[in-house]
A and B are shown apart, each in its own frame.
Chain A
Amino acid sequence: DGGITQSPKYLFRKEGQNVTLSCEQNLNHDAMYWYRQDPGQGLRLIYYSQIVNDFQKGDIAEGYSVSREKKESFPLTVTSAQKNPTAFYLCASSIAPGQGYSNQPQHFGDGTRLSIL
């Protein structure tokens, strides 16, 4: 079955530590995204990538970094510079516009819950 796999499901971070959240998709989508979800708030975009080896900052990129070395993978690193990292992190993918399609909806993984130790 095609889908998006996020791991781990739960993650704990110590002070001063960087942690990396994994996101893998087998939907053959070019575009991938990272969102942060806090209670009572909508999804806030951290980073997105339309193509391998290219990515753009979203609305709240400070304290986060990403890489896109493979089409299937888009890992997110939460650095020690992110002072309030406790949240639910969601990875999504979609067909990128410009491939003969209209805007296509995103498909989501089941998230990683990050907490501070």
Chain B
Amino acid sequence: QKEVEQDPGPLSVPEGAIVSLNCTYSNSAFQYFMWYRQYSRKGPELLMYTYSSGNKEDGRFTAQVDKSSKYISLFIRDSQPSDSATYLCAMSGRAGGSYIPTFGRGTSLIVHP
């Protein structure tokens, strides 16, 4: 079992839909959780960064962390064609003293007009 599992998709939704992207993980030592957006042929861009459990909102984006279930989510409200990209989850913690994040494989999102 990989440390971080993320469904690669693609996930195809109509414009205006609410999108839910998810990752599960196995390492209970993870404390820091990140979501990145990556457009084709570009580097990942940090969208959300959260510590421990709870919710964080930034505009149309909401990140949720449920440490008891080892499950994190990114919600995108009123999705736009410009949101079409690959979304990577990443997490890090004190496991073995490592602060280096572990990345999911990424979920490809397509928002069609």
A residues at B contact (CB < 8 Å): 4, 6, 33, 40-43, 45, 48, 58, 90, 92, 97, 102-103, 105-111, 113
Contacts and interface: CB of A to CB of B under 8 A. Distances in A.
Contacts of A108: 36, 43-45
17 contacts: A6-B43, A40-B105, A42-B6, A42-B103, A42-B104, A43-B88, A103-B32, A105-B34, A105-B49, A105-B101, A106-B46, A106-B90, A108-B36, A108-B45, A109-B43, A110-B43, A111-B43
B51 interface: yes
A102 B41 contact: no
A-B pairs with the 10 shortest C-beta distances?
A: A108-B43, A42-B103, A43-B103, A103-B32, A42-B105, A110-B43, A97-B99, A103-B99, A105-B49, A108-B44
Contacts, number: 52
Interface of B: 4, 6, 8, 31-32, 34, 36, 41-46, 49, 51, 88, 90, 92-93, 99-101, 103-106
A59 to B, nearest CB: 9
A103 B43 contact: no
Contacts of A4: 43
Nearest to B31: A103
Contacts of B6: 42
A81 B51 CA distance: 40
Given A4-B43, A107-B46, 17 more contacts: A6-B43, A40-B8, A42-B4, A42-B6, A42-B103, A42-B105, A43-B44, A45-B100, A103-B93, A105-B34, A105-B90, A105-B101, A108-B44, A108-B45, A110-B41, A110-B42, A111-B43
Nearest to B44: A108
Given A42-B104, A42-B105, A105 B43 contact: no
B31 to A, nearest CB: 7
Contacts of B8: 40
Contacts of A40: 8, 105
